C-alpha cells in the first residue's frame, strides 16, 4: 500500500470521498454537507465503480458497501485482496487523494468533518 507522499500535496489534487452505504440517511447530511463540487456515485458493482472513478475528472463521492470500498481503494493504491484489511465504518467519511503518479489514503475513518 502507498505511504504518505514525501510532500504535502496541494488540496487542489483530485480527491475521492468514501462513505459506507450502511450509514443511515439522517447521519449522511452532516457528513456530506461540507463537500462541494463533487460528483456522487452510488454503486454496489466494483468493476463499474472503478471505471466511473477512473473516468471522473473532479472530486468524487463514492457511496458503496464496505467490501466494494475496500476493493476500490486497494485497486487505487496498488494493493490486492488479503494484503491489508481496510475498514470503512458507517457514519464516517474517508478520503483518498489522487496524485499524478499514485493514489494516497489520506484519512481512513477519522470520525471528523472535513472542509
Three-state secondary structure along 12-69? CCEEEEEEECCCCHHHHHHHHCCCCCCEEEECCCHHHHHHHHHHCCCCEEEEECHHHH
pLDDT tens digits, 18-66: 999 999 999 998 888 888 889 999 999 999 999 999 888 889 999 999 9
Report CA-CA distances (Å) from 7 to 1, 17, 24, 40.
Answer: 17, 21, 36, 28
pLDDT classification of 111: cutoffs 50, 70, 90: low
Does 99 fall in a domain? yes
How many domains would you assign to the chain? 1
Does 74 fall in a domain? yes
Does 28 fall in a domain? yes
Q: Is-above-0.95 flag for pTM?
A: no
Does 51 fall in a domain? yes
pLDDT tens digits, 81-93: 666 667 888 988 8
pLDDT above 50: residue 112 = no
Does 100 fall in a domain? yes
Top pLDDT among 83 and 6 is at 83
Amino acid at each position: 500500500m502507498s505511504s504518505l507522499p514525501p510532500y504535502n500535496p496541494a488540496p487542489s489534487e483530485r480527491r475521492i470521498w468514501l462513505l459506507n452505504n450502511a450509514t443511515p440517511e439522517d447521519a449522511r447530511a452532516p457528513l456530506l454537507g461540507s463537500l462541494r463540487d463533487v460528483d456522487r456515485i452510488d454503486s454496489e458493482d466494483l468493476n463499474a465503480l472503478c471505471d466511473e472513478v477512473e473516468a471522473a475528472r473532479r472530486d468524487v463521492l463514492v457511496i458503496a458497501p464496505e467490501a466494494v470500498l475496500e476493493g476500490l481503494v486497494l485497486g487505487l493504491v496498488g494493493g490486492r485482496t488479503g494484503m491489508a484489511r481496510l475498514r470503512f465504518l458507517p457514519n464516517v467519511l474517508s478520503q483518498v487523494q489522487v496524485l499524478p503518479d499514485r493514489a494516497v489514503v489520506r484519512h481512513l475513518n477519522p470520525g471528523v468533518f472535513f472542509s
